[in-house]
Chain A
Amino acid sequence: MTSDEQPIRVMVVDDHPMWREAVARDLADAGCEVVATAGDGREAVRRAPAVAPQVVVLDLNLPDLPGVEVCRQLMLHQPATRVLVLTASGEHADVLEAVKSGATGYLVKSASREELLDAVRRTAVGDPVFTPGLAGLVLGEYRRLAAEPAPADSRAPAAPQLTDRETEVLRLVAKGLSYKQIADRLVLSHRTVQNHVQNTLGKLQLHNRVELVRYAIERGLDDPA
């Protein structure tokens, strides 16, 4: 949890100055290094390479670029950066898209300061930050993919599937249990629970990338000309 030796490098992207400043101040007070703040998507995408943040705290509701697009471009240029989505709108489709395109955490803005700090720290070390709401969305997405008719094209990747254990863990997350409670209930280690949760995201993101590539090839978008 602690990262006292080296402060976490954070970039805050939010179009509301009041909120942006408050989040930046909270993070700075807690010992993070706020390397940049940005008020819109283009600025964020432009500045991120220079400041190389470990964690981008990203509002999905931006004036110029859709937050999902910002997330995609950040991940494209800097795969090492981790994106924590922090949004007021709780717009489900957006959150799911952002997570599929690489965000590893999601928090609503009404979360407390401790929750935010904890989320940033966990995001920095690569732990996915799941709210119950996000777990519900991810569960729903797996079921949606499973229910889709099998693609006629045999080259198409099979829909990703959750193992029974992963489903179980994800359901418990969605029901508001903490990792520790889940570990107790399923008689697993805390680390194992974390791994399961991470896998559920990883598979979804991988599937999304494969789908994107396939789509690009189909449309001839991979042709550099």
Chain B
Amino acid sequence: MGAKERTGGSFSVEKPLWRAVSAFRLLTVVYAAVSYAGIAGHFHDRVAGWVYLGVLGLWTFATVRPFSSHQRCNWYWLSTDLALCVLGILLTRAFDSGPGLVAGDPTIPTIRAAGAVLGFAVMGGWLPAAVAGLIVGLADIGEAGGLTRSDLHNIVLLLVAGIAIGYVIEVARASEQTLARALEIQAATRERERLARDIHDSVLQVLSMVQRRGAEVGGEAADLGRMAGEQEVALRTLVAEGLAPNPSYTAPAIRRGRGRDRGSEQPEAVQDLRSLIAPMAGARVTVSAPGTPVLLPGRTVTELGAAVSAALDNVRKHAGTGAQAWILVEDEPDQVMVSVRDDGPGFDSAARLGEAEREGRLGVSQSIQGRMRDLGGSADIFSAAGQGTEVELRVPRPRAGGGGANGKSDRSREGSST
């Protein structure tokens, strides 16, 4: 079963087994000859016995090569081997005179027959081994003219050995396949990563180039250039996060002490705020952040990220799609600050705040300010005519919440400085 596929037969476990089968066949055929020499006197047709042994010996020595590995062997070799052994067993009765049989003399091939069964086991697993074993067993019974106690014993032994070795070879083959596949995948992954690094770098270069040249040529090319630029930023972010061991994804889950004022559903693991903000960069959005992780509780990161997205939406809505935006993330000992500035026309903050609020310019009120309040932080908006509008989001660090979890946030500071 399943023996037709010639899988990695040259692998570690199978090779020694084949070698063992080969050696077993050679040794047992010699043993058969010695054994026959000892009992030849019982046979009435002694010469015929020797002739048979000669044929078997020749066959065995001639087939050392086919029986040395999975690739060289096939079912014809095995079947012929088995047939020859069975023939020998059956011939024993024909050559032997009555008294020998009764005395329980061994068959002419003796345990050489087991060699054929083992061949089946190593080739095809436990089922072919069982079938071959049964055939040999039946031949034995036929030779003896009935089921004797010692025959039964031998047959069971033969079956057990054949099935056990067949089973072992199946398991070995399966695990070797798994190992081979794993190695293959590993090699492929390593190669892919190497390629990815190179390709990413080259692609980044080309995209940057397209962007530059596109902008210089203008017109439709400028559009192409802009798109190339967006892809470049996206890809760069991806490469930076995917290849560098980015602490943002493996940040140790620093447990907060007692967060009584926060809901218990709050995810406790800290996250790097940058991992959420960095992907917002694009042709019109510049992100500036510290080089070290900005660690905050997971929920705070999510909410802050949403607030920044809302602020960016505001920029697009009110400062026009052509407006540039800058996001700055600042990590201070007692708070984290994110500012979103655009270069739109801006407004005179004191005078027109009310009007702006009516216009919905400060969508800040609901989605942004609400979120920040929930986090215990604040959102401020200010603007100077001609210098765009700026939204400043502040979130206190957990430590600021009193004596609750100061030790822990100290640790998180250390984590962020490594």
Contact = CB atoms under 8 A, between A and B. Distances in A.
Contact of A89 (B209, B240, B332, B390): B240
B223 interface: no
A143 B290 contact: yes
Interface in A166-202: 171, 174-177, 181, 184-185
A93 B201 contact: no
Contact of B209 (A19, A93, A147): A19
Given A88-B205, A91-B240, A132-B286, 12 more contacts: A89-B204, A89-B240, A92-B240, A133-B288, A136-B288, A136-B290, A136-B329, A143-B290, A144-B292, A175-B339, A175-B390, A176-B324
8 contacts: A88-B236, A112-B212, A132-B288, A135-B288, A140-B292, A141-B290, A143-B332, A174-B326
Contact of A147 (B286, B341, B417): B417
Contacts of A171: 328, 330
A173 to B, nearest CB: 9
Contacts of A137: 288-291
Interface string A102-144: 0000001111110000000000000000011111110111011
Contacts of A131: 286
A23 to B, nearest CB: 10
Contacts of B329: 136
Interface in B327-355: 328-333, 339, 341, 343
B233 interface: yes
Interface of A: 16, 18-19, 22, 61, 88-93, 95-96, 108-113, 131-137, 139-141, 143-144, 146-148, 171, 174-177, 181, 184-185
A89 B328 contact: no
> Which of A110, A112, A133, A174 is packed against the most chain B CB atoms within 10 Å?
A110
Nearest to B290: A140
Contacts of A135: 288
Contact of A110 (B212, B291, B333): B212
B244 A91 contact: yes
A177 B286 CA distance: 12
A110 B417 contact: no
Contacts of B140: none
User: Chain B interface: which size bin?
Assistant: 35 or more
Which 6 A-B pairs have CB atoms at the shortest separation, nearest pair first?
A140-B290, A136-B288, A176-B326, A109-B208, A88-B204, A92-B291
A134 B205 CA distance: 20
B289 A140 contact: yes
Given A16-B205, A88-B201, A92-B291, A136 B328 contact: yes
B239 A89 contact: yes
Contact of A174 (B212, B240, B328, B387): B328
B287 interface: yes
Nearest to B288: A136
A135 B291 CA distance: 11
Nearest to B326: A176
Contacts of B233: 110
Given A92-B291, A133-B286, A185-B387, A22 B209 contact: yes
A22 B208 CA distance: 12
A79 to B, nearest CB: 25
B96 interface: no
Interface string B275-316: 000000000001111111000000000000000000000000
B186 interface: no
Contacts of B204: 88-89, 109
A61 B197 CA distance: 11
A66 B239 CA distance: 18
A136 B330 CA distance: 8
Given A88-B201, A89-B236, A174 B288 contact: yes
Contacts of A176: 286, 324, 326, 341, 343
A181 B387 contact: yes
